[in-house]
Structure 1
Amino acid sequence: MNTSAMACRLGCGACCIAPSISSSIPGMPNGKKAGERCIQLDNNNLCKLFGDESRPKVCSDFSATIDVCGTTNAQALQLITELEQMT
C-alpha cells in the first residue's frame, strides 16, 4: 500500500462527501453523515473554509495519499467510501 503524500486534486471533493464528520461544521452544527455533501463544498468541489480557522480540525488534518485518494476523483470517492464503511 502506497501511503506517500500527494498533491490534493482541486475540484475532487471526495473527502468532503464520502466520510462522516462528527465535529461541528459551520452551517452543519451536528457534522455530516457519510455520503452527504458538506454544505461548505462549493459548486466547483472546493472547500469554502479552506485556510479559515472555522474549518474543522479533522478536515485540516486530512492528508491526501495515493492509497486513500487513488489516481482519479471517482477512485477517491470509491476508496474513501469503502474506508468509511470499514470503520
Structure 2
Amino acid sequence: MLLKTRKAKNSLRGVYLQDKILQETIFQPGTHFKYLIDQKAKKIIILGSELDTNNTVSRRQLKKGIKPVIDIRNSATRF
C-alpha cells in the first residue's frame, strides 16, 4: 500500500519524514523499518520490519501527543 509520494530534495544529511499520516500506519515510535534506495528512479521505499534493525522510528513530543518520525541518515539518499 502506497501511503505518500514526495519529490526527493538534495540534502547532505539524508531523509526526514514527519507526517500526520504516519500516526495511522505501522510506523509507530519504537518500531523498526528498512528502506530500499533506487538511484535510477530517484525513489526511496520505506517498509516496516518485524526484525530488529538499526532503523527505529523516533518520536517527537507535541502538545497534542506524540508524532512518529522516520529519519534516514545516509548520503546514498542524495539524488
Shared fold per TM-score greater than 0.5: no
Would you tell me which structure has more helix in proportion to its own residues?
1
Higher strand share: 2
TM range (shorter): under 0.3
State the TM-score, normalized to the length of structure 1: 0.25
